[in-house]
Structure 1
């Protein structure tokens, strides 16, 4: 009987490259000649059953990787070539299968380019509608990138996941780490799962903060990371092993529409689980109350970073054990919004966070210093805001530090139990964003409001070039 044959050259080549092996080294391990392996990788020779078993035994490869379909991207490629601009280019699926099989990275690049094209078209349509002078706001486009979809969900819903908090507390109690959680997690991963953790120098892993090698069961961390960030990465890996059910249940509860969106959300949930493991809910809330939510004191007592402590404070919404309803915003030097989270969803309508007068922007001129202010919004809402810069992974010589600014806030009337409520801070007349703000005579105005016509008068000049009627 003739044995089954599989042509899977590109997949074999990807496995070899992923292991950083030459054709000679892999051929020697498999007991074949380098020229024969070269023919296999070029799909000029099949993979026999014996060679499949040899690959699985030597490199611990799941046979599904070699026997699976051409690529998970095949369906997305079909959608790309179903576009009216491309619908007549391909007569059938065979060429798509060949593209996905032989050049998966190029296929994914084509998919990303098409997504960007569709997103740009949608945003231009929204902008045209907004600037056309219509009375109603432009309808939100249905086409969004997976990252936009995940961000919108996490910004609009409460940032609290009860199942993850409960699972993290139970695991922390079983682990009993004492004062050294990192060592306890490393020992548990090695003992129960055979996984070793190593820190690599920058020149060995210059572009990555972490890499999990599932073939050798090793987690590599970059020496760029601070001790707190290294602990977070280890805790994320432990969360995948220790609480998979809780992660799966919370992920299933989110209204996500694509596999890529679910992968992004799973990463965010794993980071939440890591923070919950580093700062168990009950212990963390008790410390916060004792020091009146002083972020610096909390981070010292919990042995975490400022950013990690501030992020965890947003999650304190357990029934019967509530903290203040904090919200968090993170931006970069250019004002790009990187994160927005809230105990009840980020308060876009009432606060916005787009006002240039906020101390969030001033922190870049005073790195490491905490700035406290009370922002008064045009609709009458008042917010107590705490802002500070935070630095990213360590940079080498001639590398620019990645510095972002964090803002932790809550409504002023609900900030009484925080140490910051006693700080004398004059009220700041702020707005949600220039395009939506109707404050007259604002020195910081960068754009005219969309709700009012400009007050162009040759005889009178106001404080801003965007004065309005």
Structure 2
């Protein structure tokens, strides 16, 4: 019977290099000559079945290591070379297969470099769009990342998902939890799906907030999470099981273009579903109206964090049972905007959110304090803005605390409906962004407006770093 022959020279060479062996040493162990091994590594001689078994026996190898795992690399390389920049370089897939087979580490390195190139292109496109919005014309362009597509969708649409809300209320009613929703959810997971929840110490799970082990059916949570965040993780797991169909329907309605974008959006919808389960729509709406949207009181009433209560508040837009259309922005101490969302979409055009005079940027100097004021936006109207810092996972000794700041706002016409409008508020004159704001004499101005020439006068200067006519 003819022997089955396998040409796998590059993989044999990788195994030898991984073992730190010379060709002579490996050939001796395999009972073949060094010259024969050299021919094998150059794909000029095949690996017979007998030699394949000898390799597996001597070096304790899984035969899959010799079969190769290059299909993923080939698919990614094919996608890379479909880029208009490279589309004319290859006549077919054979060269891709040869590269992936002969040098998989090189192929992986090329793919990492291409991903970095695409990310930089995306950032340049973002910069191009920003400059164009502020009056500059640029020729920069590039592909957007899946996360940018998801952010655009969630920032511009109302933060309300009807199917998830209905499913969450129905599921909450069947659970009939008392004061311990977390305990009720754990019991439901155990009884219906044989799933247990364990809290792991930092040294066991130092870099993860959660991990689900499908083999043992255990959900592991980090002890660094607050009790409220642990509850959200448990609620997310239950929501993805209990109303999977509702999540799938809402995900399909977003019409995202890639699988990666869908995975990111599915996670965001699961977070939304968890909050809907922790704070059922009807009960939360009723409490919010009675408490006049006092976020601290709402957090205490539902045993959630300030951040969770704020995130839930901007979703109260059910037809026939809507409330004040709040919006939300979260930033870090460097001013990076991490999240924008709103009951009717985030009002970028009217509110912006980039003005350093807003109290969300001052919140870091007063951690844990709720700051409320009226912001009169140049050309955009007035807004009630409420800001507070929120803490991330518990930091260990020597680690920097993760602290962000959240701003919850609404049109100033609703100010009297809230607890924050019961006493006189400080009014701050702000703008959407320095490049678009023509407010004169602003001490916080960081850039000149694109609509006005600079007023360069050797005899007279104002307090602003950029005086203009």
Scaled by the length of structure 1, what TM-score is found? 0.82
- Structure 1 SS opposite 2:248: helix
Residue of structure 2 in register with 1:24 after alignment: none
Alignment of 1:267-306 (within 5 A): 267-306=267-306
- Structure 2 SS opposite 1:328: strand
Structure 1 runs of 4+ aligned residues shifted over 6 Å read: 4-7, 98-101
Over 3 Å counting, the alpha-carbon distance change for 1:306 and 1:34 in structure 2 is: farther
Per-residue deviation, residues 186-211 of structure 1 (Å, max 9, x unmatched): 11111111212111111111111111
Whether 1:42 aligns to 2:65 is: yes
Alignment equivalent of 1:114, drawn from 113, 117, 130:
117
Mapped contact 1:99–1:107 kept (Cα < 8 A): no
Residue of structure 2 in register with 1:404 after alignment: 404
Q: Greater shift after overlay, 186-195 or 77-86?
A: 77-86
Residue of structure 1 in register with 2:455 after alignment: 455
Per-residue deviation, residues 317-360 of structure 1 (Å, max 9, x unmatched): 01111121000000000000000101110010110111000110
Mapped contact 2:128–2:140 kept (Cα < 8 A): no
Whether 1:181 aligns to 2:181 is: yes
Over 3 Å counting, the alpha-carbon distance change for 1:121 and 1:292 in structure 2 is: closer
Over 3 Å counting, the alpha-carbon distance change for 1:130 and 1:342 in structure 2 is: closer
Residue of structure 1 in register with 2:152 after alignment: 152
Count of residues in correspondence between the two structures: 420
Residue of structure 2 in register with 1:325 after alignment: 325
Distance 1:390 1:132 in 2: 35
Distance 2:468 2:79 in 1: 46
Residue of structure 1 in register with 2:425 after alignment: 425
Per-residue deviation, residues 31-74 of structure 1 (Å, max 9, x unmatched): xx875751414225x9xxxxxxxxxxxxxxxxxxx9xx923x75
Distance 2:140 2:344 in 1: 22
Over 3 Å counting, the alpha-carbon distance change for 1:380 and 1:345 in structure 2 is: closer
Distance 1:265 1:99 in 2: 34
Larger radius of gyration: 2
- Structure 1 SS opposite 2:199: strand
Mapped contact 2:165–2:276 kept (Cα < 8 A): yes
Mapped contact 2:163–2:246 kept (Cα < 8 A): yes
Residue of structure 2 in register with 1:70 after alignment: 71
Over 3 Å counting, the alpha-carbon distance change for 1:372 and 1:188 in structure 2 is: same
- How far did 1:93 drift? 2.6
Over 3 Å counting, the alpha-carbon distance change for 1:165 and 1:34 in structure 2 is: farther
Per-residue deviation, residues 373-395 of structure 1 (Å, max 9, x unmatched): 00111225111111000000000
Distance 2:183 2:311 in 1: 23
Mapped contact 2:121–2:141 kept (Cα < 8 A): no
- How far did 1:122 drift? 3.0
Residue of structure 2 in register with 1:219 after alignment: 219
- How far did 1:84 drift? 5.9
- How far did 1:143 drift? 2.5
Residue of structure 2 in register with 1:464 after alignment: 464
- How far did 1:426 drift? 2.5
- How far did 1:89 drift? 6.2
Distance 1:140 1:249 in 2: 36
Note the aligned Cα RMSD (angstroms).
Answer: 3.1
Provide structure 2 residue ranges, at least 5 long, that are not aligned to the other structure.
12-55
Q: Greater shift after overlay, 406-415 or 437-446?
A: 406-415
